[in-house]
Amino acid sequence: MPTASIQSGNVLSPGLAMDASAAQRGWKALPASYGFPERRPALEEAREYCRKLARSHYENFSVATMFLPKHLRQHFFNVYAYCRISDDLGDEVGDPAASLALFDQWEAELDRCYEGEARHPVFVALAETVREFDIPKHEFSDLLRAFRQDQTVTRYETFGDLLAYCQYSANPVGHLVLYLCGYRDAERQRLSDFTCTALQLANFWQDVAGDYLRGRVYLPLEDLRRFGVVETVIPQAQFTPEFRELMRFEVERAREWFQQGLPLIAQVDRNLSRDLNLFSRGGLEILNAIEERGYDVLSQRPSLSKARKLKLVARAAWSRLI
């Protein structure tokens, strides 16, 4: 698969040669369609690439976009495609050195996107979105900062440390949505941060066992000590009374963050408010599913049934008719 080469003069320096080799390993671990094409695609080709990726990769995203005005859907596809591949560069490679090298190439292409010189279809399409909505580059690069951190940081000492991670891993997504819908003010971004962080926390608490298999523990270590929980109960699926109380505490804390973000729903137009309502309710339903299982996230991953998801979508669709 073709990848961009990084050269110093005519000869690769040892450090850069190592980075290029790591990047090649990384691209081979990912779908072939993720790689850099030999030629820069036309704008409509790039748009179709993003549409296809968004529609095939994540059903909840497709459900949400049906509530958006038609003129915004392509821009949401473009942003989603960037976020999807960025996330996969870190989570689907299985080689931290390779992922870090890929992030360097990906961020260099982001720079070229803002200079009008990108050739990857995601960035060709994204350049149009960036220009139309005047989106600051840091909203995209902040996500890469979090994904890089995942390659080197696998534990968080305090809840404050975890919030600092969410500032880059989750909150920029909310900012991007607000930019696309015409909102740029700090107050709406602040409320969005509560919701995005809450969604991230709900995902962490849902995926405690799976994240451990990937080498990561997002439960703050200070909380494990507070409730007398040792980390080894996670891989051994030992659902102890102490672990139950730890998860009860974390679920309630995530609910509080959702509640702090809910006022945003009333401060945006009806189209966006339905999406925000859908995602907030969906996140709260994940927390409810954890509670209904008695907070046991070790023996089985708590998830929403199809009927439960349809109920959320139906509620959102009904609100559109009111």
Structure tokens of 68?
């958006």
Q: What is the mean pLDDT of residues 139-167?
A: 97
Mean pLDDT of 115-131: 97
Give the pLDDT of residue 305: 61
Task: Give the alpha-carbon dihedral of 179, 180, 183, 189, to 10 degrees.
Answer: -50
Of the two residues 271 and 28, the one the predictor is more confident about is 28
* Rounded alpha-carbon distances, angstroms, from residue 52 to 48, 58, 67, 70, 255: 6, 11, 18, 16, 34
pLDDT digits (tens, 9 = 90+) for 284-312: 999 999 999 999 999 999 876 666 555 54
CB 58 within 8 A of CB 118: no
Pick 94 or 168 by higher pLDDT.
168
| Rounded CA separation 56/69 (Å) | 20
Q: Do domains 14-152 and 155-322 have the same CATH topology?
A: yes
At 181-210, the pLDDT tens digits run 999 999 999 999 999 999 999 999 999 999
11 forms beta bridges with 8
Q: Find the mean pLDDT for residues 44-55.
A: 94
Helices within the chain (DSSP H only): 14-28, 43-57, 59-65, 70-91, 96-115, 121-133, 138-152, 159-169, 171-180, 186-206, 208-213, 221-226, 241-261, 270-292, 306-321
pLDDT range class, residue 282, cuts 50, 70, 90: confident
- Cα gap 295→193, rounded to integer Å: 25
What are the extents of the domains in the chain? Answer: 14-152, 155-322
pLDDT tier, 69 (very low <50, low <70, confident <90, very high otherwise): confident
Q: Which CATH superfamily is domain 14-152 in?
A: Farnesyl Diphosphate Synthase (1.10.600.10)
> Mean pLDDT lowest for which of 3-7, 119-123, 211-215?
3-7
Q: According to the CATH classification, is domain 155-322 in 3.30.70.260?
A: no
